[in-house]
Structure 1
């Protein structure tokens, strides 16, 4: 088990929000991004990497402790990328290695397209870039059904349809343990913002392949070893194909870094070293 690293917390004020972030460790800057996952989801992975890197985690806009001036404002990958660019410049330890998972992987793609000079290595892990799939219209329609169910008050039905569309299988008792009971207030607020203001913008994002190819940033497209045939397995493979590279397998499934942060960190270190020769060469 990895020891818990000392955490420095702070808030960065940007024109339309206050962004909460955390720093651990020392060394080259490594940023861990989620959406809607907040910094708490990455705590174990951040601790496992803090012996070698300065690890930055953050609550994405509209979630957790990152508060929007206008709570009805939509979250887009480009807006989240601008937040991350501001954070990297603010902590003044960049350029950075950036690992993003799920919606955070889409943020990572938008960041490299907009500010490639801030990112040496980008690892988008299972980005739901649905636009790259042949059945995107069907998947978009299913997203609209999920949103409609949630807005109608059927939280369980919305998440059930979400998991079905993503082809994520789980035992009924596990699903109900996660979604059957009324969630704590902060989780409920995060879910509400996700369905109302973030799901569409994230899944409709179109990667800028020209910008990604022009960038000096080295890109690793990550897929969970246990995610075979899931929606994000397909989107990740389509992204890798569009970039002319092979996808890289990481431990676990869509969020493999949560149950096995140490094993996931080992694979992440290995992949970074393969590209850069180690932290000093990043």
Structure 2
């Protein structure tokens, strides 16, 4: 099966979505459905290496609205906030446009939150969802501190710009264990320590900080809908991510679903092979994903 992507566009309400197909859609069937790889706000580029190890499947990637090639045309433009439910409707439209029936989905980070929203709203479209470290921080035991920290990052972005806000965001993602009381009120790290700009350029159109941060991290999964869905839901966490906020959220969601999380190689970006200058363990990550997507004969 060829791994060279064929690019397409899809008109959606308020956006034009760009997506890529590796392989022939006619080759997808119930035994080996098409595999959709999604992130947020990460675009399709981030899955380039992972897709190269999954040549036995038809693989579909896309750029979420407001990122990469998927241009927003709504009245709010690039500064309007987006919700997982909005992304879920984009994913519904994309899956329906593929015309191959239910798909498997590997969803990373914000994409995992959007994947949970998709299954809650349109469960018949997804056979198996592997949700890798969904940062829905209001599910963790220290949710008050976590949500306050996220809101503080957004306020910093609005008042000071990308550098100071991203420095706070990076520090939050690196924090191990429960957040102490007052965490959100502590001064943030120096942006220069992370190679970030210290001056505010006035823009407020960052895909993470401006468009997706509050909607993604503040999302409350519909556990009743997820429990009732025919979709097989697998929550995944990184071996090296234990104690980090996105991993802890994944563990909390798995507990609410009555399952145990699957431990994948590496860290939050364990599938990356140099994209965005980050490296994980993409080959063993792909092996683990292929294993998880193949249920045992007992259906467990």
**TM-score w.r.t. length of structure 2:** 0.82
Report how far residue 191 of structure 1 moved: 6.7
Q: CA deviation at 1:134?
A: 2.6
Q: List runs of 5+ in structure 2 lacking aligned partners.
A: 177-190, 273-278
How far 1:230 sits from its partner (Å)? 0.2
Partner of residue 34, structure 1: 39
Change (3 A) 1:189 1:123: farther
Match in the other structure for 1:240: 254
Shift in CA distance, 148/267, structure 1 to aligned 2, threshold 3 Å: same
Deviation, structure 1 residue 164: 2.0
- Superposed CA RMSD in Å reads 2.5
After the TM superposition, which parts of structure 1 deviate over 2 Å for at least 4 consecutive aligned residues? 25-28, 148-157, 166-169, 175-182, 188-191, 274-277
Contact 1:22 1:56 in 2 (8 A): yes
Return the match for 1:164 from 157, 163, 171.
171
Q: Are 1:250 and 2:271 counterparts?
A: no
**Conserved 8 A contact 1:76-1:202:** yes
Match status 1:264 vs 2:280:
no
Q: How far is the alpha carbon of 1:167 from its aligned partner?
A: 2.7
Aligned counterparts of 1:110 and 1:118: Cα–Cα separation in 2: 12
Tell me the alpha carbon deviations over residues 52-83 of structure 1, each in whole angstroms, 9 at most, x when there is no partner.
11111111111111111121432110110111
Matched residue count: 265
Change over 3 Å in CA distance of 1:163–1:10 after alignment to 2: same
Query: Is residue 219 of structure 1 aligned with residue 233 of structure 2?
Result: yes
Q: Which residue of 2 aligns with 1:69?
A: 73
CA distance in 2, matches of 1:31, 1:190: 30
CA distance in 1: counterparts of 2:170 and 2:194, whole angstroms: 12
After TM superposition, the structure 1 = structure 2 runs for residues 21-100 of structure 1, keeping only pairs within 5 Å, are 21-26=19-24, 27=28, 28-49=33-54, 51-70=55-74, 71=77, 72-100=79-107
- Bigger proportion of residues as helix: 1
Selected match of 1:13 from 11, 14, 32 = 11
Structure-1 separation of matches of 2:245 and 2:129? 21
Paired position in structure 1 for 2:182: none
Any conservation in 2 of the 1:128–1:235 contact (CA below 8 Å)? yes
Q: Is the 8 A contact 1:36 1:190 kept in 2?
A: no
The CA deviation string for residues 126-154 of structure 1, in whole angstroms up to 9 with x for no partner, is 00111112322222221222123223344
Query: Using a 3 Å threshold, how does the CA distance of structure 1 residues 25 and 194 change in structure 2: closer, same or farther?
Result: same
- Deviation at residue 178 of structure 1 after TM alignment: 6.3
Question: Which residue of 2 is the match for residue 197 of structure 1?
Answer: 211
Structure 2 SS opposite 1:62 = coil
Query: Secondary structure at the residue paired with 1:11?
Result: strand
CA distance in 1, matches of 2:161, 2:95: 39
Q: Kindly tell me: are residues 17 and 164 of structure 1, through their superposed partners in 2, closer, same or farther at Cα, counting changes over 3 Å?
A: same
Tell me how far 1:177 sits from its aligned partner: 8.8
Q: Which SS does the other structure have where 2:105 is aligned?
A: strand
Please give the secondary structure, in 2, of the residue aligned with 1:127.
coil
